[in-house]
Amino acid sequence: MLASNRWVAFSLMVLLATTALLPQSVAFGEDMPKYGGTLRVATIGEPQHLDQHVVTSDLVDTIAQHVFETLFAFDANWEPQPLLLKSYEVSEDGRTWVFHIRQGVLFHNNKEMTSEDVVASLVRYIEYGFRGGMIKTRLSKLVAIDKYTVQLELTQPFGVLPALLSLHAAILPKEIMEAAGPEPIKPEDYIRTGPYRFEEWRPARYIRLVRFDGYQSLEGDPSGYVGRRVAYLDELLFIPVSEAQTRVAGLQAGDYDVALAIPTDLYEILEVNPRLATYRVGPPNNAPLYFNMSEGLMANIKLRQAVLAALDMQPIMEAAYAPGFWVAQGSILPEGTAWYTEAGAYLFDQDDPERAKKLMIEAGYAGQPIRIICTSEYSDHYNRALVIRQQLIKAGFNVDLQVYDWATLLARRAQPALWEIFISSHCFYPDPALYTILDPRYSTRWDTPEKQLLLEEFLTTAEFKTRYRIWEDLQALLWVQLPWVKSGDYWDLAAMGTSVTGFNDTNHPVIVRPYFWNIWLED
C-alpha cells in the first residue's frame, strides 16, 4: 500500500493537488521500539565521499545525515528549527545573529562540541560550500564569544540564514576543519555528532555506520528532521546496487531491508507483495536538464533556446515515471506550495522542432556534437535522456549521449570542457534560495547581472509578499536565460520490508531523504 506523505505546510493548499493519488497510509500497529539488528539499505550506487560541505548530492546526503548534524534542520512543516542549537537571537536590523549551542553534545571521538568547532566548521562551509558562498559575500564577522556562544555579523539582513544552515553546514571538530581545504576530507575524519558514527567503507560493497552510544539527542517529539533521534539499530549498511531490478529482486528475496530510487513502473508489482510496504517519497522533485553556460556551445543562448523549443515534456516524463508519479508543469516549486508561480512558464513545453531549427541557424550551429552526460544508476535520468536525445536529433542536433556511473558523472560535471548538457534532478527545498541553480558557482555558472541583481534583492528582503514578487521575476528570468530546462515534477518510489517498523506520518514522515533513526526491526 502506498504510504501518504506529509507535505509542505506553508499554505492551506498543501496536498490539494495530489491527495487523490494517495491511498491510505501503511499501518504498522503499535509495536514497542526495540534495540538491535542491522538495516541493509540498497542505494543507487556509491558516493564519491561523504563530505557534505563540498558536494551537492542526494546520495551523499541520504547516507551522511545519519553521521553529520547541523545547527538547524527542517521540521515536518519545512520550517528551519534548532538542532545543535539551544537557542538563537537576531538583532532588529537582521544583521547580527547569536547562536547558543547545546552543551554536552559529543563528537564521535567523545570530545565535547564547543563554539570553536562551530566557528571552524562554518568558516570552511562558507568558504567552499555551494550555498555557503551566499553567506560569504555578506559576512563581516564570525567569532566565538564564549565556550557555547557564537556571533555571526552580516553586512545586510539575510533572513534565509537558518535555512542555509539546515542543509550541508555540518559541524566537525575544529582540528579537522582548520586542516581541511576545498578537497573532500578523508573517511578517517568523518567525526561528527550524529546518532550513528562512520565505521567502515568497503568500496563496491557497503558503507557501515554503527550506533554512537554517546549521542546526545535533541528533546521533543520527532518532526521532520528535528526532535528526538534514537538509534535503535546496531548498524546501518548502505549497499551500492546500481541496477534497479537487482535492488528490487534483493528486496523481494530478503537480501535488503530497504530499496531506494526504484523505477516507478514497478510500483504495482511491489504494492501487492504482503511482505513489503511501498512509499511515494515527496514532496516532488524537479526533473531538469542543466546547460553549461560558462563555455562551449551552450554558452550561446540561441542554442539553449533551440533545445527548449525542441522538447516535448510529456513523452520525456512518461518514459521515466509511472502514472501518478509525475506532472508536467513549469513552476520551479510544486503546485500547492507558497512559492508556486506560473511566471515565465508560458515558455515551458514548446514541442516546436521547426522553431528549434530556425534558432540553430541564428546561433550559427554547424552540427557540432552536443555532449549530454547522464547516469544509468538513476534509471529515470537515463530514460529521460534517451527521449531528450531523440527529440533533439529530430530537430537537427548532433547528440553525443555519454552514460557514466554517478560518481564519474559528478567528477565530469565539475569540468566545463567535458560537457554541454547534463541530466539530473533537484530535490524539493522549501525556499527558492536553496536551489543550486541560483548559485553562480554551481555547474551551470548562471551569473548574469540581471540575475544577480534580483537574487540580491530576494535574499536581503524578509517580508514574504515582497520576496514572492521578486521570486516571480527570478523564475521568469530563468525561463528566458535558461541555465536549465525543467521537464516536470516527479515523486520517488521506495520500498521496505514490513519488518522495518516505526515509519508513520506522525513522527517519521516520508520526506525527500528518508532517514533511519527512530525506526527498528521486528522479527
Closest by CA position to 382, among listed 306, 319, 311, 307: 319
* Residue 304 forms part of a structural domain: yes
Cell for 309?
Answer: 523549443
CA 442 – CA 103 distance, rounded (Å): 36
Check: CB of residue 372 under 8 Å from CB of residue 403.
no
DSSP element (H, E) containing 3? strand 2-3
Helix 379-395 vs helix 353-363: angle between axes, to the nearest 10 degrees? 70
The whole-number pLDDT of residue 235 equals 98
Residue range(s) defining the domain that contains residue 348: 284-491
Cell for 48?
Answer: 564519491
* Residue 307 forms part of a structural domain: yes
pLDDT tens figures, 245-254:
999 999 999 9
The whole-number pLDDT of residue 384 equals 98
The whole-number pLDDT of residue 504 equals 60
Q: How many domains does the chain have?
A: 1
For residue 28, pLDDT over 60 is answered with no
CA 510 – CA 25 distance, rounded (Å): 11
* Residue 333 forms part of a structural domain: yes
Check: CB of residue 371 under 8 Å from CB of residue 421.
yes
**CATH number of 316's domain:** 3.10.105.10
pLDDT tens figures, 422-465:
999 998 888 999 998 998 888 899 999 999 999 999 998 878 89
The whole-number pLDDT of residue 280 equals 84
DSSP designation for 2: E
Residue 31: pLDDT band by 50, 70, 90 thresholds? low
Residue 338: CA count within 13 A, CB half-sphere? 17
Check: CB of residue 410 under 8 Å from CB of residue 59.
no
Long-range CB pairs of 385-393, under 8 A, 24+ apart, other chains included: 385/423, 386/319, 387/315, 387/316, 387/319, 388/289, 388/311, 388/316, 388/423, 391/310, 391/311, 391/312, 391/315, 391/316, 391/353, 392/307, 392/310, 392/311
Residue 15: pLDDT band by 50, 70, 90 thresholds? very low
Check: CB of residue 326 under 8 Å from CB of residue 519.
no
What residue spans of 294-405 are helical by DSSP H?
Answer: 301-310, 313-320, 353-363, 379-395
Residues 50-78 have a mean pLDDT of: 92
Neighbours of 30 (CB within 10 A): 5
pLDDT tens figures, 491-516:
989 999 999 998 764 444 446 678 99
Q: Measure Cα distances from 269 to 115, 356, 378 in Å.
A: 51, 40, 19
Closest by CA position to 167, among listed 74, 84, 298: 74
Closest by CA position to 400, among listed 356, 436, 367, 433: 367
pLDDT tens figures, 380-437:
999 999 999 999 999 999 999 999 998 899 899 999 999 999 999 998 888 999 998 9
Residue 339: pLDDT band by 50, 70, 90 thresholds? very high
* Residue 479 forms part of a structural domain: yes
Query: DSSP per residue over 114-145, as a string?
Result: -HHHHHHHHHHHHHH-TTHHHHHTTEEEEEEE
* Residue 1 forms part of a structural domain: no
* Residue 306 forms part of a structural domain: yes
* Residue 17 forms part of a structural domain: no
DSSP designation for 111: P
The whole-number pLDDT of residue 511 equals 60
Residue 17 has φ and ψ, to the nearest 5°, of -80, -15
Judged by DSSP in three states, 42 sits in: strand
Amino acid found at 458? F
pLDDT tens figures, 100-138:
999 999 999 999 999 999 999 999 999 998 888 889 989
* Residue 235 forms part of a structural domain: no
The whole-number pLDDT of residue 326 equals 96
DSSP element (H, E) containing 408? helix 406-413
Whether cis (ω within 30° of 0) applies to the bond prior to 449 is no
